[in-house]
A and B are shown apart, each in its own frame.
Chain A
Amino acid sequence: MKAQSSERRYLENYLGIKGWVWGGRYRLERYLYTLHRISGLALLFYFLLHIAMNGFRLSSGESWTSLMDIFDTPIVKFGEYLVLAGFTFHALNGLRLILQELGYTLGRPKPPVYPYVDALERRRPIVFVMGGVIIILLVVFIFNFI
């Protein structure tokens, strides 16, 4: 029994990727982390697709126009809108992250006096303003798409 216990391996308990999607009762920014990652990867995917599609122009003008005819459907239009929405979010949240991850806009350390309020909570308005700008831009883009 003794020898066995010294060899015993503890049970791993990492949340793994599912911890990005659902970690627990956390506030907004932990889920913006996930959204930023998803939007970044989606943009990358779109980017590669975009380059591949544009490759059709190399073969002939006709194959390009016939491809564009196939794409002229509401579903593809909606998909393009989603790409634009993803880009808008990724770009604005990216600007916030660039500033905040270099320590700007966060303020100075404060002595921890209960109830504790951390820097992100104190600067919550930045996230709200960012969200507001994203929503306004997305509404404006709808009109561009119709």
Chain B
Amino acid sequence: MSNNGENQGSVSKLTLKVQRYNPDRDKAPYMQEFTLPFRKGMTVLDGLLYIRENIDSSLAFRASCRMGICGACAMLINNLPRLACHTPVEEIGEFTLEIKPLPNFAIVKDLVPDTSSMFEKHASVKPYLMRDDQEEMEHPTAEFVQSPDELESYLQFAYCIKCGACVAACPTSATGKLYLGPQALTQAYRYCGDSRDNKSGERISAVDPYYGVWGCHFAGACSQVCPKGVDPALAIQLLRRKVFAQSLGGKERTPSPVAAPPTGSKEKIPVPEFTVTQDDRS
């Protein structure tokens, strides 16, 4: 078995050491080794699926989209939280991988973490737009105006897929069960930084306690592992700045207004002659 990335052309076998734990049967988790054929370009998720289909159908893990968008397949791969579907084996450069469930979450079974604590914390920071004009929010007449600059000031943080990799990497989350964690705090800033919102005060009171934004000591591990380039560590420091500014008497912004009704409509582009219309068909 080769452990070396250099001669990967000749590698034909992959060894996955997977942490197993069945709450109905096992007292403690244990490691189990699987050897399977290696195929060029395969991801860690491909390997796990191979095990489940061909070797041991009782292996539990979570995955859905297999394209880095659902956030279900985050796990600890060779000691770093990653998306299994987004991690080609060749990128790691080793052909013996150790796979464990995400730390800082309880284990449901094998590689399945219980991420409900993260979702509860996420909900607690009010991750949605809040404005005074309730009527416009419920029965919108037009979109809210937002400049490209205003969009970019929070857009990066809106790419979060709630995979939990950042929480697994965070040393404060490792000891503080109450700590809101990088995922929730980032989403608090994503909405506080949105020019269409003017109720960041409500969100700030959710993140101001000691287990909120002040629990971050800027280890930056969250940003290192985030598979979507969200940079939670940056969002948290910007949030802290906002909380600090508000404590010094900073004011809520005036939210961006509703777009003005169009003054006139542009000339319609004529339908090309070759287009098949409904009438032609019948």
Binary flags per residue of B85-113, CB closer than 8 Å to A gives 1, else 0:
00000000000000001111111100001
A106 to B234, Cβ gap below 8 A? yes
B228: A residues at CB distance < 8 A: 112, 116
User: Does B45 sit within 8 A of A, measured CB to CB?
Assistant: no
User: Does B79 sit within 8 A of A, measured CB to CB?
Assistant: yes
A19 to B168, CA, bound (A): 10
A17 to B171, CA, bound (A): 8
A24: B residues at CB distance < 8 A: 76, 79-81, 169
A108: B residues at CB distance < 8 A: 152-153
A119 to B237, CA, bound (A): 11
User: Does B30 sit within 8 A of A, measured CB to CB?
Assistant: no
A112 to B233, Cβ gap below 8 A? no
A136 to B171, CA, bound (A): 30
Q: Is the interface of A mostly helix, strand, loop or mixed?
A: loop
Q: Chain A's nearest CB lies how many Å from the CB of B58?
A: 16
- With A24-B76, A97-B217, A118-B220 already in contact, the answer to whether A11 and B175 are too (CB < 8 A) is no
B106 to A10, Cβ gap below 8 A? yes
User: Does B155 sit within 8 A of A, measured CB to CB?
Assistant: yes
User: Does B229 sit within 8 A of A, measured CB to CB?
Assistant: yes
B79: A residues at CB distance < 8 A: 24-25
User: Does B137 sit within 8 A of A, measured CB to CB?
Assistant: no
Q: Count contacts between A and B, CB distance < 8 Å.
A: 154
B171 to A33, Cβ gap below 8 A? yes
Counting chain A CB atoms within 10 Å of each CB, which of B79, B220, B240 scores highest?
A: B220
User: Does A50 sit within 8 A of B, measured CB to CB?
Assistant: no
Counting chain A CB atoms within 10 Å of each CB, which of B24, B159, B218, B241 scores highest?
A: B218
B4: A residues at CB distance < 8 A: none
A108 to B171, CA, bound (A): 25
B224: A residues at CB distance < 8 A: 26-27, 30, 118, 120
User: Does B21 sit within 8 A of A, measured CB to CB?
Assistant: yes
Q: Chain A's nearest CB lies how many Å from the CB of B234?
A: 4
Q: Contacts A10-B107, A13-B102, A16-B175 given; 8 further ones with Cβ under 8 A? A: A10-B23, A11-B21, A12-B107, A19-B104, A26-B80, A27-B224, A30-B221, A112-B231
